[in-house]
Structure 1
Amino acid sequence: MAEAARKLNAAETPLYREAPNNIEAEQALLGAILVNNDAFYRVSDFLKAAHFYEPLHRKIYEVLAELIRMGKMANPVTIKTFLPADEKVGEMTVAQYLARLAGEATTVINAADYGRAIYDLATRRALITVGEDMVNIAYDAPVDMSPSDQIEDAERRLFELAETGRYDGGFESFSDAVKTAVDMANAAYMRDGHLSGVATGLRDLDRRMGGLQPSDLIILAGRPGMGKTSLATNIAFNIAASYEPVQQADGSFKAANGGVVGFFSLEMSSEQLATRIVSEQTEIPSSKIRRGEINEAQFEQLVGCAQTMQKLPLFIDQTGGISIAQLAARARRLKRQRGLDVLVIDYVQLMQGTSARAQQNRVQEITEITTGLKALGKELGVPIIALSQLSRQVESRDDKRPQLSDLRESGSIEQDADVVLFVYREEYYLKNKEPKPGTEEYIKWEGEMHEVKGKAEVIIAKQRHGPTGTVSLAFQGEFTRFSDLAEEHHLPERFE
């Protein structure tokens, strides 16, 4: 009896579980598009051919999409020539199958619902793939793969799935790449200032770089005291302050201007960073804010500025010595929860690598960090501004303007970066050379000092998609603020 019951239970247990799919929904959607091509535009912004479960349906959807986008009529007669004629669907030929799909088509109203059902099932199948891989790798883990590496890999794949609806690291057709390039040019034409990237708020720098380009790694380097962090906080504030969200077709928000900024401050606390930004905006020196040497009017100004800043999409992480894997995980999380358009890291030399081999060798560690940042920028599709220290050899030269060879600890910083910017202030070095007052040298020094006072140079030493050169900016040291220099033809009239 017990044996019979065991056999019965075994017979009832299915041999395998089929992946989630809905062939009827796929047929209904394809039929609706065949009858009325407008149905395609109700699903085309989120539904791709790869989301279909049935291979023949993928092929049909691909052909339909191509014909409709070319402005041609797509129906059972026009598309059958682009499909394999000898293939059979049960007893039917492909041509008969297409006619049946169109004949049983539902109304165009349901197209979006069917499309969404197909998309959701494709996402579930992708989740199953990620889950199976996680389980299999955890059971048979390679020797060189630590559990934290596996978590990092799983988190990356899940993030990609959440962002694109399909985990896929394969090839894309050149036509897709060209379409993306044209969309970017169109966005640049429509955006304020005609920039293809995110505007930094510094006119001359934007003009030279076209804004901060998506997925670029931008290294901002300089010796201590040059104002690297000040320039980074200025840019971060400008971007966050000009943020204008616009709703997409799928309900998510995208930045029409400005953007959401993530700031990893490994050197300063979030409170120090906030004090700096408040000082820049209110024009009250940060030293006075810290010591409380402010009057009532200035305090009201501070409170007003703080209230405005609370609404800004600027998020600060003040973890010191963060590893590249932790940073990537937190950036992905921020993008999922709040959105992310620009990432700032202050600064690279304070970060840590993750692999034990890299931690034993500083050059290898920096290589791992810069390669990781470049990959993260591409994955998230955002520009990353990473600050970097320069070596001391700058100080031993007569001309103290930095060069690419001055980047500290690794050639990989220069190699992986899409853009390298150096901040240089002649005033800083000249101030330390003050001669004895009353001498001839002092009069000469005073003239030179007057020439460079309040000026800074941002040297574009490398740029993959634009010219190199120098951009002049104004710098107000007491407020740690960079701004545009007045253009000659905008200056008030002068009488000699």
Structure 2
Amino acid sequence: MNPQLSSNHLINVDEDLERVILGSVLAEPARLHDLLRLVPKANAFYSPKHQLLYTALSALYAEGQSVDLMSVSHYLRTHKLLDKLPLHELAEIMGQGVPGNFEAKCRILFQLALRRYLHQYGGKLYRAALDPSVDALTLINSVQDDLNQITAQLMTQDERGPEHFLAEVLADLDARQRGLPPGLTTGIPILDNRTGGFEPGNLVILAARPSTGKSALLVHWLLHHTLTLQQGAGVFTLEMKGKEVMRRALAHQSGFSNFELQQGTGVDMPRIHQHVGGLAQIPLHIRDLSIQLPELLSTAREWHRRHGISLLAVDYIQLVRDSRYPRTYDRISEVSTSLKTLAQDTGMVVVGLSQLNRECEKRTGWDRRPVMGDLRDSGSLEQDANNILMLFSPHRNGLRYDDGSSNEQTLELHALKLRNGKPTQAGGDAGDNGPLVVGYDAPTNRILSASDTRPVSF
């Protein structure tokens, strides 16, 4: 049985919904990525004109062009399709308005298309079951193949053979033999040596108690990525404003403290301007407004598509809103899972900053060092993350190393989960198994390398 299906029936059809969805994309082009993700093929639309418009939108998207009424009109004119979809009808579709719950409407559209296909196939299956000339066992064996064909007609199949992935393995091996990290580095040598860089598609959780240095480490990483590696990055800064992020970046580069830059005292302006020009040109995209999770994901995918960003940071996870989940635990779980999927789908390294709960402060001595269970409102953070880094300041907790080498700049990196590296051992001494020790100059947000290779006893 060959389910070459047509859509010439009137059940499970909502052409008004189709117009609203397409009109929303024309009005707000950033929605196109979600449409293509949730409705992978044009034949999910019932109307031939809507199928045509979907095809035009997806073609423009694939070419990296802007998507608006003018570009779509040009596409239709160039491909001699205006007789099938006149400009006045295109304008009418655009005027349908921008609905709420866009993703939900796309899912409804896809469900309707699937029901249409299944309804028609069900009729064919019913007639075949009543035909005494059709062998029943043969019919059963053909059903799964037929359903797979239906799925293939509606969904994009993106399968790659083992040779593709073996080529990636060999490329990694070649990079390592040439002394190059195969993954994205942080600019912190002791950490990069341990990880070999974070692999594309990884979710990294960076956690600490407030004012321990996680935002400074993030700024250090972003500057290394955009200035040294010359690669694009994006950051959703939900705790700080964009101005604060760039002030920290300027302090990092100029050596003037955050306080000096904020107060404007003792600042050498010519020296400041030496760094402003370079920072103004870095490929960094910043969103510093409160945001719902669906919009965050859509914006991140658009940054990746349009600007080629390979590193994305969310500062911090507990501040991402999602009105679908009133319970904090459920919301954080959804954020964690969604960021993991985002990393896998795009190949970006996604860094989610997280708070630690207060339990670690109730412990005494070196037991105050963070452990997995200290992740705040963790949901599935521990499960979803490929890598988990936690920061700890001995000085802030009234602790000193036995040899007296620690001071207010000593910062411990606890790599408690490393998917492709050797994790640090909770409670171990610095060195092969214990925390990675670096210097941290809080006033300038600099992660220092002086202690990177110096083992310290406790």
Q: Deviation at 1:463?
A: 1.2
Given candidates 335, 356, 380, the residue that maps to 1:412 is 380
Equivalence for 2:81: none
TM-score by length of 2: 0.63
Given candidates 338, 341, 360, the residue that maps to 2:307 is 338
State how 1:52-67 maps to structure 2 within 5 Å: none
Given candidates 166, 173, 176, the residue that maps to 1:185 is 173
Given candidates 161, 174, 183, the residue that maps to 2:162 is 174
**Aligned partners of 2:355 and 2:375 also within 8 Å:** yes
Given candidates 371, 375, 379, the residue that maps to 1:403 is 371
State how 1:257-296 maps to structure 2 within 5 Å: 259-295=231-267
**Aligned partners of 1:218 and 1:386 also within 8 Å:** yes
Structure 2 residue 416 is matched with structure 1 residue 461: yes
TM-score by length of 1: 0.58
Q: Deviation at 1:375?
A: 0.3
Q: Distance in 1 between matches of 2:214 and 2:108?
A: 33
Q: Deviation at 1:173?
A: 2.4
Report the secondary structure of 1:224's partner residue: coil
Structure 2 residue 390 is matched with structure 1 residue 422: yes
Q: Deviation at 1:186?
A: 3.2
Structure 1 127/360 Cα, relative in aligned 2: closer, same or farther at 3 Å?
closer
Given candidates 356, 374, 383, the residue that maps to 1:390 is 356
Structure 1 488/421 Cα, relative in aligned 2: closer, same or farther at 3 Å?
closer
**Aligned partners of 1:188 and 1:197 also within 8 Å:** no
Among all aligned residue pairs of Structure 1 and Structure 2, give the percentage whose two residues are the same amino acid: 24
Equivalence for 1:98: none
**TM-superposition CA deviations, 1:418-460 (whole Å, max 9, x none):** 00000111111229xxxxxxxxxxxxx8998763331101100
Equivalence for 1:472: 437
Structure 2 residue 271 is matched with structure 1 residue 301: yes
Structure 1 216/134 Cα, relative in aligned 2: closer, same or farther at 3 Å?
farther
Structure 1 463/214 Cα, relative in aligned 2: closer, same or farther at 3 Å?
same
Report the secondary structure of 2:184's partner residue: coil
Structure 2 residue 200 is matched with structure 1 residue 214: yes
**Aligned partners of 1:472 and 1:485 also within 8 Å:** no
Given candidates 35, 41, 44, the residue that maps to 1:130 is 41
Which 5+ residue runs of structure 1 have no aligned equivalent? Answer: 1-15, 18-125, 139-144, 155-165, 245-258, 432-444, 490-496
**Aligned partners of 1:215 and 1:384 also within 8 Å:** yes
Q: Distance in 1 between matches of 2:224 and 2:351?
A: 14
State how 1:311-390 maps to structure 2 within 5 Å: 311-320=281-290, 322-353=291-322, 356=324, 359-390=325-356
* Rg larger in structure: 1
Equivalence for 2:97: none
**Aligned partners of 2:330 and 2:379 also within 8 Å:** no
Structure 1 465/459 Cα, relative in aligned 2: closer, same or farther at 3 Å?
same
Q: Deviation at 1:487?
A: 5.9
State how 1:114-153 maps to structure 2 within 5 Å: 130-133=41-44, 146-150=101-105
Q: Deviation at 1:350?
A: 0.2
**Aligned partners of 2:437 and 2:452 also within 8 Å:** no
The alignment covers a number of residue pairs equal to 315
Q: Distance in 2 between matches of 1:129 and 1:407?
A: 37
Opposite residue 386 of structure 1, the aligned amino acid is: G
Opposite residue 365 of structure 1, the aligned amino acid is: R
Opposite residue 200 of structure 1, the aligned amino acid is: T
Q: Distance in 2 between matches of 1:375 and 1:301?
A: 43
**Aligned partners of 1:264 and 1:344 also within 8 Å:** yes
Structure 2 residue 216 is matched with structure 1 residue 230: yes
Q: Distance in 1 between matches of 2:357 and 2:241?
A: 25
- Between 1 and 2, higher relative CO (CA 8 Å, sep ≥ 6) is seen in 2
Q: Distance in 1 between matches of 2:361 and 2:39?
A: 57
Report the secondary structure of 1:421's partner residue: strand
Q: Deviation at 1:308?
A: 1.1
**TM-superposition CA deviations, 1:291-340 (whole Å, max 9, x none):** 11024xx21111111111112111111122x2221111111111222111
CA RMSD across the alignment: 3.2
Report the secondary structure of 1:221's partner residue: strand
Q: Distance in 1 between matches of 2:106 and 2:217?
A: 35
Equivalence for 2:118: none
Report the secondary structure of 2:383's partner residue: helix
Q: Deviation at 1:188?
A: 4.7
**TM-superposition CA deviations, 1:6-40 (whole Å, max 9, x none):** xxxxxxxxxx99xxxxxxxxxxxxxxxxxxxxxxx
Q: Deviation at 1:171?
A: 4.0
Report the secondary structure of 2:389's partner residue: strand
Q: Deviation at 1:150?
A: 4.3
Shifted more, 394-403 versus 445-454: the winner is: 445-454
Which 5+ residue runs of structure 2 have no aligned equivalent? Answer: 1-5, 8-36, 51-99, 110-153, 425-434
Q: Distance in 1 between matches of 2:390 and 2:234?
A: 22
Structure 1 153/230 Cα, relative in aligned 2: closer, same or farther at 3 Å?
farther
Structure 1 148/194 Cα, relative in aligned 2: closer, same or farther at 3 Å?
same
Structure 1 129/286 Cα, relative in aligned 2: closer, same or farther at 3 Å?
closer
Q: Distance in 1 between matches of 2:351 and 2:414?
A: 15
Structure 1 153/372 Cα, relative in aligned 2: closer, same or farther at 3 Å?
farther
Structure 1 179/294 Cα, relative in aligned 2: closer, same or farther at 3 Å?
same
Q: Distance in 1 between matches of 2:452 and 2:349?
A: 28
Q: Distance in 1 between matches of 2:452 and 2:218?
A: 23
Structure 1 482/361 Cα, relative in aligned 2: closer, same or farther at 3 Å?
same
